[in-house]
Amino acid sequence: MPMYVIEREVPGAHELTAEQLQEASRQSNAVRNELGSADLQWMHSYISEDKIYCVYIAKDTDIIQEHSRCLDIPISRVCRVGSVTNPTTGGA
């Protein structure tokens, strides 16, 4: 399945507490299970000052959009990942 990066505008995202992040994760997992966990896998998220970037593996963008609608968390942008690189790409 393809990998996607989802950008969300969340003013003050960096101020979210550990408890708030834990609850958001719990809710996300519950919705994912309702939608069919085989079609959507949340890998991890990066939280910056006013944005959250989430990495998902999903069958398509429709299920990502539906997941977001169910959570009532808007998506600013969805980008399909074309390739991944890291320090090991250049050789050891």
pTM for this model (two decimals): 0.89
Q: If pLDDT is split at 50, 70 and 90, which confidence band does 80 have?
A: very high
Q: Are 64 and 77 a contacting pair, CB within 8 Å? A: no
% of the chain surpassing 90 pLDDT: 88
Q: What are the boundaries of each domain within the chain?
A: 3-83
What would the CATH number be for the domain defined by 3-83?
3.30.70.3090
At 17-35, the pLDDT tens digits run 999 999 999 999 999 999 8
pLDDT tens column, 6-16: 999 999 999 99
Q: What is the mean pLDDT of residues 49-76?
A: 95
